[in-house]
Structure 1
Amino acid sequence: MNYLQLCQRLREKVGASGEGPLSVAGQRGEYARIVNWIDEAWIEVQRLHNTWAWMHKEASGSLVPGLMAYTAASFGISDFGRWDINDIRLYDVDVSDEKYLLHKDYDQFKAVYGVGKQTPGRPGYVSVNRANEIVFGPVP
């Protein structure tokens, strides 16, 4: 059942008049409330369990020398909720030198890598900053 069908089913269940909605876009009045209820329910379902496999995707990208913080879009991620920082790996040329990065709480991370002039190096730590960006330390 798709989003529109869920809205139509809800309209039927609550006994609202009409045959619609015929679309989820641009609704007003009673149909707008139905569409909004389905939207809110979908968000609640997604928040029930953050370990559902369908909510996880793998991504990869390159780190830029001198750049510590990266958005999801930096790695080509368009539908994003949160980082799984317990499974971040890094390698230079190929997987032969791949290693897991260790997670640091952001306040601890900032105390080490967010003050003073940083010496670039191969990152060994990862965290998520207040802007929901993934940050690497030391800076690449």
Structure 2
Amino acid sequence: MSTALTPAQRAELGALLIARMATLEEEIAAQEGAGGRVAAAAELLDDSREGGVQREADREVALQRTSQAHGELQRVRDALDRLESPGFGLCSACGEAIGMPRLQAKPWTRHCVACERQMELGQPTPPRL
């Protein structure tokens, strides 16, 4: 049985989404900022010296973090776009309400805990009725 979110709950989740979006944008800006590009260029010139392998590994980790942050930022923006739609807060797999504690922790989520767990295990989710 699905239940609609109250206006107060939507406002709370909207504030959480906006705060997370600001945090992610700051993280991305710091990771991609001019200082980061200058340091990366300097490291490229220095790669022939000792420690080049470690610096390459560090760059790969930084690129992965930036990629993950971009992905999460897109999910947060998508959630903000959906926030006022009637289906926001309902699992996109089974149609049941996503618990408010889960939405408070991860307001961009599209799945309830049960469906998320099934997907992580590679099992099919129940058909949406």
Shared fold per TM-score greater than 0.5: no
TM-score where L is the length of structure 1: 0.30
Question: Who wins on radius of gyration, i.e. which is larger?
Answer: 1
